[in-house]
Copies of this chain bind each other. A is one copy, B any other.
Amino acid sequence: MSREFVHERDLRFLLHEVHDLGSLTAYPYFEDHDRETFDLVLNTALKMARDRLFTTFRDMDQNPPCFVDGAVRVHPMVADFMKECGDGGWISATAPYDLGGQQLPRLLISACVFVFAAANYSASVYPMLTSGAARLIESFGSEDLKRSYIPNMFEGKWQGTMALTEPQAGSSLADITTQAQETGHGYFLIKGQKIFISASDHDGVENVINLMLARIKGAPAGVKGISLFVVPKKRVREDGSLVPNDLHIAGLYHKLGYRGAPIAQLSMGENDDCRGFLVGKPHMGLQYMFQMMNETRLEVGLGAAAIASAAYHAAVRYCKERTQGRRLAAKQAGSPPVPIIEHADVKRMLLFQRAIVEGSLSLGLQCCKYSDLSKTAPESDALKFQLLLELLTPAAKTFPSEMGILSVSQGLQCLGGYGYCDEFPLEQYYRDVRIHPIHEGTTGIHGIDLLGRKVVMKDGQALDLFRRELEDAIKTAEYYPELKPYAERLDKSLERLLEVTESLIPLKHSGRTELFLADATLYLEFFGLVAIAWQWLLQGTACDKMLKTNPPQTEFNFYQGKLYTMRYFFHYELPKTEALAKRLTEADGLTTEMHVDWL
């Protein structure tokens, strides 16, 4: 059995049979592409992942970045990989031709990012951040900023970052205090500290371009006084040479996992000479930054699913090879032991992992397709896709992140004692995957974002669009007798979700905000389960369609595996919505009323 970390057949199934990647070529932005280009891109990603990323995955964990003489040294593969990503056009892949991009669909490129992340999550972060930071300049920066920064970033010579968090301002960005003072010379002087900044210094690139939030002197308090700046590690002189920009690394964090990427503490302006260049208009920084934050959130979700995918493949391989015990039906001393995958409980554990991995990946790709459509479809449709994307982002980030932990943990469990030891990769996946419910907004923050903002925005329009998407999927699935019971289960869960929402909204309208949002995390969990069930029903429908064509044995096996995984999700996971619904409709103020000194 090959040492796989993704299910290649599943990627093609999701891209083409479920999400119809080809349909995007009907839009002018993508019209130059076809199935052949798409396949070529995916194959190249798979080859890079196998050859360069997976082979260094353990080594990067065992030799994490180190901080020597004020600079950060990373694994030598980082320089090679950034160059390869630059040369291969991976960083600019979705950007328009006129900026050096290839106008490829995000749906496809995200599948490739998933492949990279499954092979080596830490490594995948370097080009991903660079791409997001460059596209932020592309969207809101001046022509001068675009010209000065984007080409080197797209070529992988310069690293991009997002620099938001400060010691006193993590979840609460309103409280950032990094200062920007106007100089009248086309730049601001930046002073302050940032913490937990990924890839903010390393020797795999020539320069690092931080997309940084700061407060212009005299700006209003709170989120409405935050501006966005380009703050390079080295600034560019007229002659093109690079000089230090008074931006110092104060230290690196020693992390549980995700060790191949440096997370640093930054200090700006210790010598009053750190220059920042304003992106767009003053005080609009947080609004701009949401572009990168929202993109990165989807990538975090896909990254969690990717690690869970690699863990699943390692687990399933072990379970097919390791023999232990006998089938319970034929237990008899002396009979030979069976591979543990024969045990029902082990199959259940594997189905759980697969349901999480492939359900999460499908939801992530669904969001990417909405993202593509929101940029290319005619205006009224575009708005619809934009709303769906905004509504689904908290779940597409959080469901894989939270469930990814459980999925990897179940993978580790499949290996018993070996799963706990570093001879096998499960223990690393278990450490790596734990970051995802934390970075790019904790689960609690996303719960509040979903219920407090997304569900109620524009009078509930987004939720209504979501309902219609699900109803369409349910109607189509009902044509297939085997799927009818599952379509009904989804329908019932959707109805329950809407009822729960209806019961909560009056709390908001009557000003009881705290009670309204007290269990927003549970609401997000509920919403995530329904969204994943929808994705599984879409997958089931695609399978049943193909099974009617009498496919050859390997294809038959693939579709059957899919259908059983779908069934697993509906029988074991979706029913969890009932307990959540029950709790969400109690609104008894248990956690809002409880005095903190009782804890």
Interface residues of A (CB under 8 A from B): 165, 168-172, 174-175, 195-196, 220-224, 253-258, 316, 320, 323-329, 331, 333-334, 337, 339, 341-351, 354, 405, 409, 412-413, 416-417, 419-423, 427, 430-431, 434-435, 437-439, 442-444, 447-448, 512-514, 517-522, 557-558, 560-561, 564, 567-568, 571-572, 575-576, 578-579, 582-583, 586, 588, 590-592, 594-599
Contact = CB atoms under 8 A, between A and B. Distances in A.
A218 B223 CA distance: 79
A591 B348 contact: yes
A298 B348 CA distance: 26
Which of A170, A348, A578 has the most chain B CB within a 10 Å cutoff?
A348
A217 to B, nearest CB: 17
Contacts of A409: 405, 434
B254 A421 contact: yes
B583 A572 contact: yes
Given A348-B518, A442-B416, A320 B421 contact: no
Contact of A324 (B172, B350, B438, B571): B172
A345 B579 contact: no
20 contacts: A168-B324, A171-B324, A172-B324, A172-B337, A174-B333, A195-B417, A221-B333, A222-B334, A253-B421, A255-B420, A255-B421, A255-B427, A320-B596, A328-B448, A328-B514, A341-B599, A350-B599, A413-B442, A413-B443, A420-B435
Contact of A561 (B344, B347, B598): B598
Contact of A329 (B351, B430, B514, B572): B514
| Identical copies of this chain, number | 2
A588 B571 contact: yes
Which of A258, A442, A594 has the most chain B CB within a 10 Å cutoff?
A594
Contacts of A354: 599
A518 B345 contact: yes
Contacts of A327: 514
A417 B561 contact: no
A423 B583 CA distance: 36
A590 B575 contact: no
A66 B401 CA distance: 35
